[in-house]
Structure 1
Amino acid sequence: MNFDLSDEQTMLRDMLNRYLRERHDFESRQRHAHDDAELWTGLADLGILGAVLPEQAGGLGGGAVDTMLIMEALGEALVTAPYLESVVIGGGLLARFPTDATTALLTRIGSGEARLAATLDGDGMRADRRDGGYHLHGTARTVIHAPGASHMLIAARNSEGDRLIFLIEATTPGMVQHPYRLIDDRPAADLTIDCQLPAAALLASGDAACTAIAATEDAARAALCAEAVGVLRHMFNDTLAYARQRQQFGQPLARFQVLQHRMVDMYVALEQAISATYLATLNLHAAPADRARAVAAAKAMIGTSARFIGEQAVQLHGAMGMTEELAVGHYFKRATAIAQQMGSRDQHVRRYAAMPRMPA
């Protein structure tokens, strides 16, 4: 496998990292914790929102590695704006079903005008044919970034058990949000839906919907792993810098051998997370079974590394590590949320174990 970045990818990574250092440091993030409009506009102006969207929609047509680089940078800067929901999930699904309407919406996503949220499991949602359209009804739990979204992608099942995907506006009559915030301060909502939709709201159904959902969810999991790498790297670097600066018994904490061993273990956990994420990213366009295997392994590894690095980072910072004023606690909360989102470590270990063994 080739792990070298192209010149364009290196420029993309460096440009985004520089922008976030200048415009979204920890103090700025805390001041604007519940208002990311300026940051979202800035990401659109930089071309970040359109970097992996199709060229037909005004995007740059980037691939999985570009998404990985962007998500890693967003994680390192603790950006909780809806890039995953709008671009990776929303943009990824819409690009699979090109029409004039989806292309127009993709263009609006790239310009920052539209934001998407998605609920794709479909277990609590039912869609029945009625009056030339669909009667969509049911509930959806923990729809991340539903508050503030302009459009929703909602999966449902019909009476035969087939999966369907609907694209609707967030202001559709009959959809009620019950908003709240998660432990990492991202907005989410439980949805109660009972609405009549036109036939044009149906994006996909049957096998096409199942295939699209499976591929999009694995792409989103790989993107979450990349974000986690950025989060974990920041926690490791912060902890290393603190141990070199903090004095105890007349010498820096970093001089104590037992703490040196602890930080080496953190570094190993970080490198394992990075390697697993690279493997998952490079397998996103492989056969579905190979893709699923690599993504499950990466998500399980991220769960292990996130807990270990986060716990060590907080402990090595002492009581300060739990304060709102210090960044490390906020990063640990984000790492914990990522570890649980779209399947926990244990769920993905079971998923991996149930897959056919790779040929020797």
Structure 2
Amino acid sequence: MDFDFSDDQEQLRDAVRKWVDKGYDFERRRGIEAAGGFSREAWDELSELGLGGLYISEDDGGLGMGPVAGMVVMEELGRGIVLEPFAQTLIAGGVLSGYAGADVKDAWLPRIAGGQALVVLAHHERKARYRTDVCEATATKAGDGWTVSGTKGVVPAGDQADAYLVPATVDGKIALFLVERSADGVAARGYGTQDGGRAAEVVFDKAAAALVTLDGLTALEHAVDIGIAAICAEAVGVMDKTLAVTVEYMNTRKQFGVTIATFQALRHRLADMKMQLELARSMSYYASLKLNAPTAERRQAVARAKYQLGVSMRFVGQNAVQLHGGIGVTDEYIVSHYFKRLTQMEMSFGDTLHHLGEVSARMEETAGVFA
């Protein structure tokens, strides 16, 4: 199998990497974190690169480059631990392109592609944990439209977004709706997250909504899988940079008159971190390449990938801190921020134990052999 990237994908990687290196350094990130965890200015700069249309067809105003291009971008954003939730744009673009009717597509896809609208997935509920089939929010027909009522938690940049993708039950089945933040009956309470980003609790009280699809569970599962693939790619970028910073530190930090990089036991630890990174990278590729596969195959692939990424994120993050010593957990040093981001990503869209259960449930007759 050919894993070489196309010229367009390499140019895309180079453009995003240059922006991260020059326009989103550690000091700017700390400033955005201190200001609340989201910067509309930084979001606009990302949009100017044309990234919003990666999952949106050219007919709808996008680039139509697909999952591999999304993976490339997320890796580079991971290297800079960018706080703005670009994965949510991939989710919105993919879901609306695949499931929405013409009226919703025409109203929102060009705006998402151009960066004028930030649309985020609002699906977490207190009783659901990581299950997508548990939903207490309800939707009711109201004339020619719909209204949605319910509460969603941990919504990425929920008090800054322009609209939400909201699953809600209709006659006992989950449907998916699009609700604007400016609609009457919508209240968002924002807060900072552990990794420096921003989320919100969003309450919908008979808020006007546009129907995306009545087959909401299928669409929601696809949205979550897009999110998992994006998280996996971002984590590869975070781990890659974490390892590089750790190697640089070990080549400068001296103990007993020599750099600690000369100690064999510590070199073995670095080799183990590199192995976990490469395992994670291969599974990230696997997840992205399976995003357009049939549902059962796709769901199985992303569960496998998220499990391996969870193991790798924990190993690389914890060992980076251990190899740095006390400085590795100080707020002034970047490794602590990589570690916090890896820790939060490990629990996003289902933690490692959850996805181990998903992998186990889908083994069927293969008895653990990946068919």
How far apart, CA to CA, are the structure 2 residues paired with 1:196 and 1:275? 43
Which secondary structure does the structure 2 equivalent of 1:258 belong to?
A: helix
- Give the alignment partner of residue 210 of structure 1, picking from 197, 207, 217: 217
How far apart, CA to CA, are the structure 1 residues paired with 2:312 and 2:65? 28
Identity of aligned residues (%): 37
Q: Over aligned residue pairs, what C-alpha RMSD do you find?
A: 1.7
Q: Shift of the alpha carbon at 1:62?
A: 0.7
Pair 1:23–1:357, CA change in 2 (3 A):
farther
Post-superposition Cα deviations, 1:40-68, rounded to whole Å, max 9, x if no partner, equal 22222221222332212221101110000
- Give the alignment partner of residue 119 of structure 1, picking from 102, 122, 138: 122
How far apart, CA to CA, are the structure 2 residues paired with 1:321 and 1:98? 49
The one-letter amino acid of 1:205's match is L
What is aligned with 1:12? 12
What is aligned with 1:166? 177
How far apart, CA to CA, are the structure 2 residues paired with 1:9 and 1:133? 41
How far apart, CA to CA, are the structure 2 residues paired with 1:286 and 1:100? 27
Where do residues 190-269 of structure 1 align in structure 2 (5 Å cutoff)? 190-197=201-208, 201-206=210-215, 209-269=216-276
Q: Shift of the alpha carbon at 1:129?
A: 3.0
What is aligned with 1:142? 154
- Give the alignment partner of residue 93 of structure 2, picking from 87, 91, 94: 91
Which secondary structure does the structure 1 equivalent of 2:73 belong to?
A: helix
What is aligned with 1:157? 169
What is aligned with 2:191? 180
What is aligned with 2:45? 42
8 Å CA contact retained: 1:57, 1:104? no
Q: Shift of the alpha carbon at 1:19?
A: 1.7
What is aligned with 2:78? 75
Consecutive unaligned residues in structure 1, runs of 5 or more: none
Q: Shift of the alpha carbon at 1:133?
A: 3.8
8 Å CA contact retained: 1:179, 1:189? yes
How far apart, CA to CA, are the structure 2 residues paired with 1:106 and 1:324? 39
The one-letter amino acid of 2:11's match is M
Where do residues 211-360 of structure 1 align in structure 2 (5 Å cutoff)? 211-355=218-362, 356-358=364-366
Which secondary structure does the structure 1 equivalent of 2:279 belong to?
A: helix
How far apart, CA to CA, are the structure 2 residues paired with 1:132 and 1:38? 37
How far apart, CA to CA, are the structure 1 residues paired with 2:55 and 2:135? 30
Which secondary structure does the structure 1 equivalent of 2:148 belong to?
A: strand
Q: Shift of the alpha carbon at 1:329?
A: 0.5
The one-letter amino acid of 2:185's match is G
What is aligned with 2:108? 105
Consecutive unaligned residues in structure 2, runs of 5 or more: 124-131
Worse overlay, 247-256 or 23-32: 23-32
How far apart, CA to CA, are the structure 1 residues paired with 2:153 and 2:43? 25
What is aligned with 2:66? 63
How far apart, CA to CA, are the structure 2 residues paired with 1:242 and 1:357? 47
The one-letter amino acid of 2:300's match is R
Worse overlay, 74-83 or 94-103: 94-103
Worse overlay, 31-40 or 336-345: 31-40
Q: Shift of the alpha carbon at 1:131?
A: 4.6
Post-superposition Cα deviations, 1:6-45, rounded to whole Å, max 9, x if no partner, equal 1111111111111211111112221233452222222222
How far apart, CA to CA, are the structure 2 residues paired with 1:35 and 1:349? 32
Q: Shift of the alpha carbon at 1:132?
A: 4.9
8 Å CA contact retained: 2:29, 2:83? no
Q: Shift of the alpha carbon at 1:289?
A: 1.8
TM normalised by structure 1 equals 0.94
How far apart, CA to CA, are the structure 2 residues paired with 1:111 and 1:165? 23
Which secondary structure does the structure 1 equivalent of 2:248 belong to?
A: helix
TM normalised by structure 2 equals 0.91
8 Å CA contact retained: 2:120, 2:156? yes
Q: Shift of the alpha carbon at 1:274?
A: 0.6
Check if 1:27 corresponds to 2:27. Answer: yes
How far apart, CA to CA, are the structure 1 residues paired with 2:153 and 2:40? 25
8 Å CA contact retained: 2:155, 2:201? yes
How far apart, CA to CA, are the structure 1 residues paired with 2:30 and 2:146? 43
8 Å CA contact retained: 1:75, 1:228? yes
